[in-house]
Chains A and B, each alone.
Chain A
Amino acid sequence: MANLVGQVGCVTGLVALVIIGVSFALGRFLDNQFGTQGIFTVIFILGSFPVTLFAMVRLSLYMVAKAQSRVAEQEMQNQTEIENTGKEETHT
């Protein structure tokens, strides 16, 4: 659980860097290929923004959802453990 939150914290930053970096590099490359004055760079960087934002929001929502479901799971586990130990004690 803690690992997951930590990972999401790092991955959101990394995702932004990778998406923006790759789209910038791609835009520059296409501009060089077609000899245009930076129009591809502009389009790609502007295009990278919604993609990054989407990825970030999805990742953080996933984190929050996972946090809540893990808690529910854990509670279930704890309860069954308590029940089991109770049974063992009665057996002995």
Chain B
Amino acid sequence: MKKRYLIPIAVLLIIVFGSIVSITKPVRPYIQLPGEIYPGSQNWPIIGDIFGGLTNTFMSSLVAFLVVILMVILLKARSRTADEIPTGFYNFFEMIVEAAYNFAEGIAGPKVKNFFPWFMTFILFILVTNWMGLIPGWDSIGIWEYKPHFYAEKDAKALESDAAARGEEISHEELEAFIEERTEFHDTQNLGDLRIAQALLIRADANADPNAAIETDSAGHKVGFNPEAADWTIVPFFRPGATDLNYTLAFALVAMVMVQFYGFKYLGTRGYLSKFFPFIGKGWGKEVAKNPIKAIDPAVGILELISEISKIISFAFRLLGNIFAGMVLLFVMAFLLPVANVVFFGLEFFVGLIQALVFALLMLIFMVSATESHHGDEEHH
């Protein structure tokens, strides 16, 4: 097949996938900020005990990491046979890396050799996780979960921690009875308000029973274990990593730790710390005597220290907010204008790119400013 047909085919596929939403009646989306835990994974040996379950955002990030690592290995293998004229994806990738390198060099100057791997890695990982969310089915195919049971488990956890705070212990049987009772309670509350008409979905919850009777509660809502009743939601197998604060915070922490690391590496312990605590710098007393306004510098240094911490927060929430809002937009638009939703995939494509670029660019700028000394010419000593 000729390569020029690939783009029209891709566009056609996007339109076909987009149209599926308008033909079928999928689950009404349940929007939840924390990554959804796979039902049942709370009881898995190590993951359940330590982390409280496996989240779909974590799995999605793992897949993204694998994709990036695979891409790197394949491209590296391809680069060994580089004496010919590069073609195809390798050529395209080389072009991108080169452009990014020149851009980073313009900002970081000769330090780019140290900073570029971080810059490019962050762009690649964040870009791949963001764009993966746009694959049809990525955030929409998953496991059914019975909502009241989910809420009952939350209540049970609260009860357990309450008892633990009092120093008491609740037996397993008691806890199960409590969960059952709370499930019944939440069932009547009809939380979630979800309707499932046609199932494109994979059924993996043992509680789901298509033959179960559909009951009606006092408010006239359908409830019960039949998947057509109200209390069902879907836990997608994968959800874009950046819609989980853990992912963005992890990247933000890595970025800021590396910024500090390079600060120490380039300026030395004393030189870097004197940015925040000027009085430990060389000849500060003399400088203050010469220019008394410098006596305020320690207070400014404390503000600088706080701003370093606030950078972590702004890093984490900027990425989370943009990508999460984008995914919510896609969900909402899927129900407002099913076929036209395709154009918003195009928009999210750009948002994903811009956010990855902004994150990496900011890290690069912070790295550069952390490695610049106060006096400008101290590096030459």
Contacts and interface: CB of A to CB of B under 8 A. Distances in A.
A79 B107 CA distance: 16
B365 A5 contact: yes
Nearest to B380: A82
Contacts of A13: 321-322, 325-326, 351, 355
B322 A12 contact: yes
Interface in A38-63: 41-42, 45-46, 49, 52-53, 56-57, 60, 63
16 contacts: A8-B354, A9-B359, A9-B362, A13-B351, A16-B351, A45-B336, A52-B347, A56-B347, A56-B351, A60-B354, A60-B357, A63-B358, A64-B103, A67-B361, A68-B103, A78-B376
Interface in A62-86: 63-64, 67-68, 71, 78, 81-82, 85
Contacts of B329: 16-17, 20
Residue of A9, A56, A57 with most chain B CB atoms under a 10 A cut-off: A9
Contacts of B355: 9, 12-13
B366 interface: yes
B377 interface: yes
B343 A2 contact: no
B350 A57 contact: yes
Interface of A: 1-2, 5-6, 8-10, 12-13, 16-17, 20, 24, 41-42, 45-46, 49, 52-53, 56-57, 60, 63-64, 67-68, 71, 78, 81-82, 85
A46 B340 contact: yes
Nearest to A81: B376
Nearest to B348: A16
Contacts of B347: 16, 49, 52-53, 56
Contacts of A12: 322, 351, 354-355
Residue of A24, A56, A71 with most chain B CB atoms under a 10 A cut-off: A71
B336 A5 contact: no
Contacts of B344: 49
A2 B376 contact: no
A81 B354 CA distance: 35
Nearest to A49: B343
Contact of A53 (B326, B337, B350, B361): B350
A78 B355 CA distance: 30
B369 interface: yes
Contacts of A42: 337, 340
Nearest to B358: A9
Across the A-B interface, the 3 shortest Cβ-Cβ residue pairs: A9-B358, A13-B322, A49-B343
Given A9-B354, A12-B322, A63-B361, 19 more contacts: A2-B365, A2-B366, A5-B361, A6-B358, A10-B318, A12-B351, A12-B355, A13-B355, A16-B326, A16-B329, A24-B336, A45-B340, A49-B346, A52-B347, A57-B350, A67-B361, A68-B106, A71-B107, A85-B377
A56 B358 contact: no
Nearest to B321: A13
B314 interface: yes
A8 to B, nearest CB: 6
Interface in B293-338: 314, 318, 321-322, 325-326, 329, 333, 336-337
Interface in B94-119: 103, 106-107
B204 to A, nearest CB: 34
A13 B329 CA distance: 11
Contact of A6 (B318, B337, B340): B318
Residue of B322, B333, B366 with most chain A CB atoms under a 10 A cut-off: B322
